[in-house]
Chain A
Amino acid sequence: DVKVTQSSRYLVKRTGEKVFLECVQDMDHENMFWYRQDPGLGLRLIYFSYDVKMKEKGDIPEGYSVSREKKERFSLILESASTNQTSMYLCASSFPRHAIYEQYFGPGTRLTVT
């Protein structure tokens, strides 16, 4: 079974702190994604990566950056956390099998910025 793990289930940080959210997948997937999920807004794509060291902005990249130095690991960085970044963060991975792109999700990290 594919496994996608996220470094923390719950995280509390202070405004202005630099925050790292880590995501690791064990199935050699090329594609990895970071979403945030807020009530009434569904899943919004922050950044995605389709190869090592490759990244593309999603719909809401402002205030975030990412790093993919190894194929299995995709990190989301909040350079200076703000209260409006309090949210549930979901990581996912997929691979281009016949253009299906089923995504496998991690359990999520609920981040609170105070």
Chain B
Amino acid sequence: SQQGEEDPQALSIQEGENATMNCSYKTSINNLQWYRQNSGRGLVHLILIRSNEREKHSGRLRVTLDTSKKSSSLLITASRAADTASYFCATVLHGSGNTGKLIFGQGTTLQVKP
């Protein structure tokens, strides 16, 4: 079963604008991760935020986590055409042991127009 829901499903912006994607989840988590997928390829890990963190930065990426609302957002600043991809959130459920099982959201497709 898919725990994460992402919003919007698709986003189209101009180069240089900021892109914000949201992810909601249903149960307690250990951490939340964001992945990127270029068309027809595998997923690549972007950034992780632990359940006791509220905000994290990595280059042009900013992730926030609100555990009271069970939601996270990914902000890409000063977007580039090369950022065009699908973005997925994934959660590690609290108490999932050492299986490493992730629950993925449906994904947001981002198009950045040059």
Contacts and interface: CB of A to CB of B under 8 A. Distances in A.
Q: How large is the interface on A (under 10, 10 to 19, 20 to 34, 35 or more residues)?
A: 20 to 34
Contacts, number: 73
B114 interface: no
A96 B2 contact: no
Contacts of B101: 33, 45, 48, 58, 101
Nearest to B45: A102
B104 A90 contact: no
- For the residues of A in contact with B, the DSSP-based class is strand
A84 B67 CA distance: 38
A42 B42 CA distance: 13
A108 B39 CA distance: 11
Contact of A94 (B30, B44, B100, B105): B100
B98 A50 contact: yes
B61 interface: no
A33 B30 CA distance: 19
Given A42-B104, A50-B98, A96-B100, A103 B92 contact: no
18 contacts: A4-B42, A31-B100, A33-B100, A42-B88, A42-B107, A43-B88, A50-B100, A92-B42, A99-B31, A101-B102, A102-B33, A102-B48, A103-B43, A103-B102, A104-B45, A107-B42, A108-B41, A110-B40
